Structure 1
Amino acid sequence: MFTDLPLDELRTYRPPLPEPPGFDAFWERTLTEARAHDLAARFTALDTGLALLRTYDVTFAGFGGHPIRGWFLIPRAAAGPLPCVVQYLGYGGGRLRPHDWLLWPAAGYATLVMDARGQSGPDRPGDTPDPAGYRNPGVPGRLTQGLLAPDDYYYRRLFTDAVRAVETARGHDEVDEERIVVAGHSQGGALALAMTGLVPGLAGALIDAPFLTHIRRAVEITDAGPYGELGRYFAGARDHVDTALDTLDHFDGLNFAVRATAPALFATALRDDVVPPSTGFAAYHHYAGEKELKVWRFNAHETGGTDQRAAELGFVRGLFG
């Protein structure tokens, strides 16, 4: 069933921004601290049996100088420097295997896939631990880790890793540093959206069902995971709800959207109970760069699936020719 406001209302839905005091200063300080560590990007060639690609195991220094893993794939036949798609991952999974990321190299672009620290699963393996602890008790999952202070919050580390992934791609000799596109679905969409506000000079962004956007509304209208983790936490941590929401405001996609300059393709689905469509529409309406929106009326969190990928291919082709 449709899970949110009627489509006519969604087309004009533009809620107030949840911007906390000192938002820009918080992120400037966070990224300055991260850049105090040498990026130390390493690309180790692998023989994966993918004869038409060159494949590399990537490591670079993310938040706190912690080593972050990834994959880098580049078409053997293409002459560089190439455009590059930096790919971010959905919630609860890792970087998988190189053969899981063939779309963009097959289209002729370089691809850097960033692993998500501390996330993995039996069918979505990852290789990056999260060595930083967190100070408050939380419910299972990542969404409540360090939730009582912006400096401690898990997503401060993950968003910083995502910025450093773009810097890693830009530093590769066969990548055109002015033609970087960030991409992701759900949690990956949250990261891509955040990058449009944190990283200047991006060529484009593919923002599919962005999580961590218009968070205060999302936690009130869905119990589905991962937002359900917040509801379960708030049910027990009754005295900490306002403090936690203030922390979350530092990571809300709406605050990055208004700072964006890159052209973006958004997607949302009207039956999505994981990332409610009003939150995606809110990000789209606040987005300050050039933008397009694909609305999938009878789909859920998968949005347009393979049809969305086709739309993304067309969008990126339009950026680069």
Structure 2
Amino acid sequence: MPHFDLSLDALRTYQPELTAPDDFDTFWEKTLAEAREHDLDARFEPVDVPYTAVDIFDVTYAGFGGHPVKGWLVLPAGTNEPLPAVVQYIGYGGGRGLPHSHLQWAAAGFAHFVMDTRGQGSGGSVGDTPDPVGSTPSQPGFMTRGIQDPHEYYYRRVYTDAVRAVDAARSHPLVDASRVAVTGGSQGGGITIAVAGLVPDLKAAAPDVPFLCDFRRAATLTERHPYREIALYLKAHIGEDERAFRTLSYFDGINFAARATAPTLFSAALEDLTCPPSTVFGAYNHWAGTEKSIEVYAFNDHEGGGPFQQAAQLRWIPGHLRV
């Protein structure tokens, strides 16, 4: 696939108009305050695995609405003092998977908290967290569930779960609550940006080829799912464009990026039809923090840099967590 979006020079200066409604901050303050009315009730059950280098815990905590959310906590074996932590969010359709899939950060000497994504976990990796909330008519997938009202929109629940995942990680006695980074790829990258805009005291954020950014441009630029779900919904629900995009504005990564101040390392791929590079750069260029960098993969699709980006993160994140 040849390059289809803006040139790299244009990408580096592309700043779409911010779409945050006037009550954006109030909406999220109230949402998180309501979630925190529920006891976090974070539970960490040891998992019997045949590993000698790590200790693994099956996590359950209260997310949006007090709903139980699953996760994993992976620690270097024998940890006896608080460690800095990496909180990770999963790509679209996937769940937390099996614990042996998450050994990288513990092997590097960090606590590693992996959040399951409610209602997902049947596409690529298994999940264990149901979403008990119903939806008005929507396109198959998750992008249009509750799209008629920001209070009912699916990602209101997911982003709230993600903030509470940071709370849950920080609640563990072997996690240094003052040294936490967030990361994730694709959907996980979009969630990372949202959390960085909602949690002001993170040490670092590393969104990899992030999804959930610059919704209107994405929905009109690519034919690939998941953004295509928005276009297909609007194809059937003629005349609902402005209502839908107003709802999405409460969840758009560009609006969260404009509120995020943690040091950040992004990545973008110039042949990425799933998360077009202009949507990634739109969030990156709006990032409020001054310490930021972006890895660009010129001939890659949505796989981005793959293991090369993992290596970049392994070089970059420790420098922010070990200070």
* Aligned partner letter, 1:294: E
The within-5 A match list for 1:191-210 is 191-210=191-210
Question: How far off its partner does 1:60 sit?
Answer: 0.2
Corresponding position of 1:286: 286
Q: Distance in 2 between matches of 1:211 and 1:196?
A: 15
**2:112 corresponds to which residue?**
111
Partner of 2:99: 98
Residue in 2 aligned with 1:153? 153
Counterparts of 2:247 and 2:48, CA distance in 1: 44
CA distance in 2, matches of 1:36, 1:141: 30
Letter of the 1:51 counterpart: T
1:102-251 matches, cutoff 5 A: 102-121=103-122, 123-134=124-135, 136-251=136-251
User: What whole-Å deviation, never above 9, does each CA across 1:11-69 have from its counterpart, x for those lacking one?
Assistant: 11112111112000000010011001000000000111122111100000000000000
Match of 2:314 in 1: 313
Alignment deviations for residues 231-289 of structure 1 (CA, whole Å, 9 cap, x no partner): 11110001211101000000001111111111010000000000000011111111011
Structure 1 partner of 2:16: 15
After superposition, residues 44-63 of structure 1 pair within 5 angstroms as 44-63=45-64
| One-letter amino acid of the counterpart of residue 6, structure 2 | L
Tell me how far apart the structure 2 counterparts of residues 26 and 79 of structure 1 sit (CA, whole Å): 40
Q: How much does 1:77 deviate?
A: 4.3
Contact kept in structure 1, 2:82 and 2:174, CA below 8 Å:
yes
Residue 65 (structure 2) aligns with: 64
Residue 150 of structure 1 aligns to a residue whose secondary structure is coil
Normalised by the length of structure 1, the TM-score is: 0.98
Count of residues in correspondence between the two structures: 320
1:216 CA displacement: 0.9
TM-score normalised by L of structure 2: 0.97
Distance in 1, matches of 2:49 and 2:138, equals 39
Q: 2:287 corresponds to which letter in structure 1?
A: Y
Whole-Å separation in 2 of the counterparts to 1:75 and 1:46: 14
1:78–1:108: 8 Å Cα contact kept in structure 2? no
Verify the 8 A CA contact 2:183 2:207 in the aligned structure 1.
yes
Deviations 1:143-175 (Å, cap 9, x if unpaired)? 110000000000000000000000001111000
CA distance in 2, matches of 1:84, 1:103: 12
Offset of residue 123 of structure 1: 4.0
Which consecutive unaligned segments of at least 5 residues does structure 1 have? none
Q: Name the SS for the 1:151 alignment partner.
A: coil
Report the Cα offset of residue 202 of structure 1.
Answer: 0.3
Whether 1:26 and 2:33 are equivalent positions in the alignment is no
Identity among equivalent positions (%) equals: 52
| SS class of match (2:183) | strand
Q: 2:142, 2:53 → 1: CA distance?
A: 37
RMSD of the alignment, in Å? 1.0
CA–CA distance in 1 between the matches of 2:239 and 2:16?
26
Asked if structure 2 preserves the Cα contact closer than 8 Å seen for 1:119 and 1:128, the reply is yes
Farther-moved stretch of structure 1 (278-287 vs 74-83): 74-83
Paired residue secondary structure (2:240): helix
1:42-100 deviation digits (Å, cap 9, x = unpaired): 00001111221111000000000000000000001445210100010000011100100
Residue deviations 1:195-217, cap 9 Å, x none?
A: 11101210100111111111111
